[in-house]
Amino acid sequence: MHRLALFVLGTALGTAQAADARTSVDYAAQAGPGSSVLIKPMRPSGDAQYWCAAADYMRGTFGSAGTARIYVTEARSRGAARFALDPPASGPVTTFSISVGTVGNNMSVAEAQQFCYNQSIN
């Protein structure tokens, strides 16, 4: 069973800190306009953690289906990246990379969520 604990930190932007009980991927999520969210893993070790957190947030907050697309709308900077369910103005990019440093990079919620399961494999 997937459990997600959200703790509102009390800002006007709806900043939340979440810990995925299944994967132990801790991240801060700051809601933005529309479906966008700024994701900052607490102990980042790679781009997979960003995708896992984005999928977790989109499913938990918006009830997004596995087929919904998640797009990088602001490239990683200072340990955070912004994701949204709508493509950025520059449009989506086609790549096999999981980089969160590329605006427009995207994958389905289900694909991104697979990185959550991979986090628990030692």
pLDDT tens digits, 35-70: 999 999 988 779 999 999 999 999 999 999 999 999
As a whole number of angstroms, the distance between CA 58 and CA 66 comes to 10
Could you tell me where the beta strands, DSSP code E, fall in the chain?
Answer: 4-8, 15-20, 26-31, 37-41, 69-77, 80-84, 106-108
Helix (H, G, I), strand (E, B) or coil at 89: coil
What percent of the chain is modeled with pLDDT above 70? Answer: 76
* pLDDT value of residue 120: 52
Residue 10 has pLDDT above 60, yes or no: no
Q: Provide the residue range defining the domain that includes 62.
A: 4-119
How many structural domains comprise the chain? 1
* pLDDT value of residue 48: 93
What Å distances lie between residue 105 and 3, 8, 24, 39, 51, CA to CA? 27, 29, 25, 15, 11
Pick 66 or 10 by higher pLDDT.
Answer: 66
Structure confidence by residue, pLDDT tens digits, 70-93: 999 999 999 999 999 999 999 999
What Å distances lie between residue 76 and 3, 29, 38, 64, CA to CA? 27, 14, 10, 23
